[in-house]
Chains A and B, each alone.
Chain A
Amino acid sequence: MRTPLKTQYFQILLALSDRALHGYAIQRAVLDQTDDGLKLWPATLYRSLTRLEEGGLIEQVAPPEDEPDDERRQYYALTGEGRERLNAEAELMTRWVQAAREARS
């Protein structure tokens, strides 16, 4: 899983940057982040989560204390590596955006 990340991977990492979330909450967060531009349907979402987990960027965690309990929900959080990767990716994008701006001006 080398740079640059696929859009949905990046969006998922971004959604998890604050706190651990379950599948449906990730879908909602990604919708918010993208102005409803990217809707991750369940199977697609969980396939992405599996890939990210295999890449060591996220991990399954216990449900947070304050969430209503439903044992069927699976919560995911960023790993240290995932956080680094998210930062590196954001860094890269910033550079691209800068380059694009310079090219336009």
Chain B
Amino acid sequence: MPAPGLRRYRSLLRLLPPAFRRAHGQALERMYLDMRAEWEEERGEPGAAFWFALTADTGRVAAVEWLALLGRTARSAAAAAGEERMSEIIGDVRYAARQLVRQPLYSTVVVLLMALAIAGNAAVFRVFNGLFLKPLPFEAPEQLVDLDETAPAWDLEFLSIMYRDFVSWRAENSTFESMGLYDEGGGNFVGDGSARRVTILLATHDLDDVLGLTPGLGRFFDPAEDVPDGPRATLLSEGFWQQEFGGDPNVLGRTISIDGFPIEVVGVLPPEARYFGEYDMWLPLRGNPDDSGSWSYNGVGRLRPDVTPEQALADLTSIHKALIDERPVNEISSPVVTPLRDRFLGEYRLGGGFLLGAVGIVLLIACANIAGLMSVRAMARGQEMGIRRAMGAPRGRIVRQLLTESFVLAGIGAALGAGLGYWGSQFLVQPLADQFPAFVTFDLDLRFFLFTVAITVGAAVAFGLSPALRAARTSEAGALSNRSTTGRRRRRAVGMLVAGEVALALVLLVVGGLSSLDVRQLGRADPGFDTEGVVSYRLNLPGQRYENGEARLAFAERYLEALEALPDVEAAAVGSSVPLSGHWGWFFMAEGAPPRAEDEANPVVLHRVVSTGYFDALGVQLQAGRIFDDFDGRDEDAPVVIVNETFVRTHLSHLDDPVGAIIHPGTGTPGDDAVGWTVVGVTRDVKHYGVDEEMRPGVYQPLAQNPLGGFHVALRARGDIAPLMARVRDVTAGLDVELPVHEVTPLETRLRDSLFARRAISWLITIFSTVALLMAVAGIYGVISYSVGQRRQEISIRMAMGAEGGKVVREVIVQGMKLVVAGAALGVVLSLAGARVVSGILVGVSATEPWIYLAVTALLLGVAFVANYVPARRAAGLHPMGALRGE
């Protein structure tokens, strides 16, 4: 275990250049220990002052050393290029700055275009980096894998882990350094008289080794505490420790009460533990290796160095399958090993990639626009270049001069954009943080900086190089004389840029349109339950005081009665879960059903235990039969059940009328004396996992048949939630003062949150596509204006000769729209080519939905037409004499 604070000092030392760290890292750590000991002896526990001084010291040296390193690199580069070059470059920058200040409008437009594009890229990259690139905040995170079990035969990708399987894996594997199990839990904590729900992580005793955590205070769990009847011990989170014990180090050895059990505090978790989730405390999992009951735990493992997840999987699978004789179910289940990040974030990778692509396109369009502007300007500056050439400036010098201008503009734009992007991404990052595991963080790092610099340099070269080269070529051709032929060539190049912009903008508009439509449809999709006015919360009855089913059922009945007596409550119910709140899977066999084929899956069934009013409170509609009445479930010999439509399809398709069917829980053949459950009703499907998720078969069992100790309460109510919940808490405390009400969430919020990531992706793509459209239109406008300006003389003469204004307008528009139509056609082709990839982020909408293609093409053509029309109109208004004078 490292000494206190050493880990923190090590992370400080990471600021220093690697060479410095290699040379002195160990010595610095050693010196830190000496200084810390001295400080402790003289002034006690080192606090902020100590760390401030250390941080300032390390930070200053890091800055100086990095700068020195950069300076050395730059100097050696300069030495290679010759000192003279260096001073030339400085001269170029000065000259560029002067040029740019002299043309404030042009400079501002370029800087703003860059800032906008870089801001989008920076914002999206910050999120992408946090999700997929940044190392997870654990020791050697590349060794960490998620563990699970899978059961394709039950139509379950992830089954969770059975404790006895874990015990075998842990004991017999040769590929893991360590592995641990964990589960979320909660308990009722009675502090100063009032009850409060605390969040608990149940962890096997070795989870600290897996994650590389050392307790902030005290110790981690003993193996002896991690057995079913072991001594009760807990580690408090830093936050809980501060809040409840004011950070008192004497908390070790104290006893707290959770659900009425006395539990000894053996340690305080380090702050890093929060990356595994914000829990108030950790308790030992106390699993029973003989229990063959259920698959209910999450697993995490640390691979040995140089072991791949595939090797680890092969290792665990051979252990798992060798046990089939003893545990026949291992035939169906098998282990899963997934790198930690992939398991939790894999499904967002495609959406993230799309966003990066979208902002990339925006950047490309911005570059094309700037390149267009620069070309135009280079033409205007042809004379200047010609003179410089004539006075003996080498061609390379002119190219470099123009490139320097690009870099200066790009640099200013990027600085603005990075700031704007970082600030703007705040609005994305905050709600996103709730959607992802706690180990996903979005703070800035070196990667963000490097990315911004890289795309800036890339952009500057992209938009600056070709105009610069062309300008130099032009001047060679003799800019002092004729300019019409090169002008035409250049116009064609600019025209191609515009067509390219239009194509890219159209692609983005298509993706944006498709995903907006998709999200809109999902938002309107009928989830099969009511959300309006329905609020849910959880309640857990401590097993000590509610020992048996009768006590729990009696409580639930009295409680529901009290709730329904509240003036604003229309209906109240309890259930093992409400929609969007988790899964409880069982298996069922229907009597008289034909046996399933060898390769046919026996799908897992969502099992819900509900009180009679559940269907009413949530607005679940009955399709056939009846809902539960007050007598259902009380007669042990006549169990009843309600099933959903999907269940009828997957289990009861052999019957004409599902009502009256008998089903048996379990996967095996029921014994002759087994009492089956009679189906009394069929309800409509409820999108329990979210409207964008697949539907599973489901059954409802009456509460009286299976009285739960912990449940979700659903209330259908009028009026505001806050005053209602205050009354609900009173009612709850009136029946049992030690029962905290927790996880209060309106179902509307649950439903909205379940679609948040999809919505965010769709919004962002739509925003970026709008920006792309505007930029492309601005490009069209600029090019047409310019070309009209070029043809001013010709147009004026024709007008003077009696040409009609309308004809001129038509001509200009046709010329411009040719480019636009070509670009749009290319965009449609590109979109269709990419449709298969796009369909990956859509649920209900086809990636080739013709309406979207038509609508965005029409939109684009319409806006482009206006962008053509305005300069064309102006051309037609040219006064003959004015134009002639102009030349």
- Report which A residues bind B (CB closer than 8 A): 22-24, 27, 41-47, 49-50, 70-74
Pick 5 A–B contacts, CB within 8 A, sort by A. Answer: A23-B30, A42-B58, A43-B62, A45-B31, A50-B20
**Residues B61 and A44 in contact, CB atoms below 8 Å apart:** yes
**Residues A72 and B26 in contact, CB atoms below 8 Å apart:** yes
Give complex CA distance A49, B60 in Å.
16
Please encode chain B, from 26 to 47, with 1 for each CB lying within 8 Å of some chain A CB and 0 for all others.
1111111011000000000000
**Residues A24 and B64 in contact, CB atoms below 8 Å apart:** no
Residues of chain B within 8 A (CB-CB) of A45 are 31
**Residues A47 and B61 in contact, CB atoms below 8 Å apart:** yes
- The majority secondary structure among interface residues of chain A is helix
- The majority secondary structure among interface residues of chain B is helix
Distance in Å: Cβ of B40 to nearest Cβ of chain A: 14
Which residue of B26, B34, B58 contacts A43 across the interface (Cβ within 8 Å)?
Answer: B58
Give complex CA distance A50, B25 in Å.
13
Q: Does B520 count as interface, using CB distance less than 8 angstroms? A: no
Of all A-B residue pairs in the complex, the 7 with the closest CB atoms, nearest first, are: A41-B57, A43-B61, A24-B34, A72-B30, A72-B26, A74-B27, A23-B31
Residues of chain B within 8 A (CB-CB) of A46 are 20, 23-24, 27-28, 61
Q: Does B53 count as interface, using CB distance less than 8 angstroms? A: yes
Residues of chain B within 8 A (CB-CB) of A24 are 30-31, 34-35
Distance in Å: Cβ of B459 to nearest Cβ of chain A: 37
**Residues B64 and A47 in contact, CB atoms below 8 Å apart:** yes
Residues of chain A within 8 A (CB-CB) of B539 are none
Distance in Å: Cβ of A85 to nearest Cβ of chain B: 22
Given contacts A23-B30, A41-B57, A43-B62, 12 further A-B contacts (CB under 8 A): A23-B31, A24-B30, A24-B35, A42-B57, A43-B28, A43-B57, A43-B61, A44-B60, A46-B27, A47-B20, A50-B23, A70-B30
**Residues B32 and A42 in contact, CB atoms below 8 Å apart:** yes
Give complex CA distance A49, B27 in Å.
12
Residues of chain B within 8 A (CB-CB) of A70 are 30
Residues of chain B within 8 A (CB-CB) of A74 are 24, 26-27
Please encode chain B, from 770 to 789, with 1 for each CB lying within 8 Å of some chain A CB and 0 for all others.
00000000000000000000
Residues of chain A within 8 A (CB-CB) of B860 are none
Give complex CA distance A70, B287 in Å.
44
Give complex CA distance A22, B34 in Å.
11
Residues of chain A within 8 A (CB-CB) of B31 are 22-24, 27, 42, 45
**Residues B61 and A22 in contact, CB atoms below 8 Å apart:** no
Give complex CA distance A74, B32 in Å.
13
- Report which B residues bind A (CB closer than 8 A): 13, 16, 20, 23-24, 26-32, 34-35, 53-54, 56-58, 60-62, 64-65
Residues of chain B within 8 A (CB-CB) of A71 are 26
Distance in Å: Cβ of B57 to nearest Cβ of chain A: 3
A39 nearest CB neighbor, chain B only = B53
B27 nearest CB neighbor, chain A only = A74
**Residues A72 and B62 in contact, CB atoms below 8 Å apart:** no
Residues of chain A within 8 A (CB-CB) of B35 are 24, 27, 42
B34 nearest CB neighbor, chain A only = A24
Distance in Å: Cβ of A57 to nearest Cβ of chain B: 17
Residues of chain A within 8 A (CB-CB) of B57 are 41-44
Give complex CA distance A96, B320 in Å.
83
Residues of chain A within 8 A (CB-CB) of B34 are 24
Distance in Å: Cβ of B251 to nearest Cβ of chain A: 33
Give complex CA distance A84, B61 in Å.
28
Given the known A-B contacts A24-B35, A41-B53, A42-B32, are A72 and B27 also in contact in the complex, defined by CB atoms under 8 Å?
yes
Residues of chain B within 8 A (CB-CB) of A47 are 20, 61, 64-65
Give complex CA distance A83, B31 in Å.
25
Interface centre among A22, A71, A74 (most CB of B within 10 A): A74
A73 nearest CB neighbor, chain B only = B30
A48 nearest CB neighbor, chain B only = B61
**Residues A42 and B20 in contact, CB atoms below 8 Å apart:** no
Distance in Å: Cβ of A30 to nearest Cβ of chain B: 13
A40 nearest CB neighbor, chain B only = B57
Give complex CA distance A43, B16 in Å.
9
Residues of chain A within 8 A (CB-CB) of B16 are 43
Residues of chain B within 8 A (CB-CB) of A42 are 28, 31-32, 35, 54, 57-58
Distance in Å: Cβ of B16 to nearest Cβ of chain A: 7
Distance in Å: Cβ of A58 to nearest Cβ of chain B: 14
Distance in Å: Cβ of A43 to nearest Cβ of chain B: 4
B35 nearest CB neighbor, chain A only = A24
Distance in Å: Cβ of A78 to nearest Cβ of chain B: 18
A26 nearest CB neighbor, chain B only = B31
Interface centre among A45, A47, A70 (most CB of B within 10 A): A47
Residues of chain A within 8 A (CB-CB) of B60 are 43-44
Give complex CA distance A8, B28 in Å.
18
**Residues A22 and B65 in contact, CB atoms below 8 Å apart:** no
**Residues B24 and A72 in contact, CB atoms below 8 Å apart:** no
Residues of chain B within 8 A (CB-CB) of A43 are 13, 16, 28, 57-58, 60-62
Residues of chain A within 8 A (CB-CB) of B65 are 47
Give complex CA distance A22, B20 in Å.
17
B28 nearest CB neighbor, chain A only = A42
Give complex CA distance A70, B16 in Å.
23
Give complex CA distance A24, B29 in Å.
11
Give complex CA distance A22, B58 in Å.
19
Distance in Å: Cβ of A88 to nearest Cβ of chain B: 26
Residues of chain A within 8 A (CB-CB) of B26 are 71-72, 74
Interface centre among A27, A43, A46, A49 (most CB of B within 10 A): A43
Given the known A-B contacts A43-B16, A47-B64, A50-B20, are A23 and B58 also in contact in the complex, defined by CB atoms under 8 Å?
no
**Residues B29 and A72 in contact, CB atoms below 8 Å apart:** yes
**Residues A22 and B27 in contact, CB atoms below 8 Å apart:** yes
Give complex CA distance A44, B31 in Å.
12
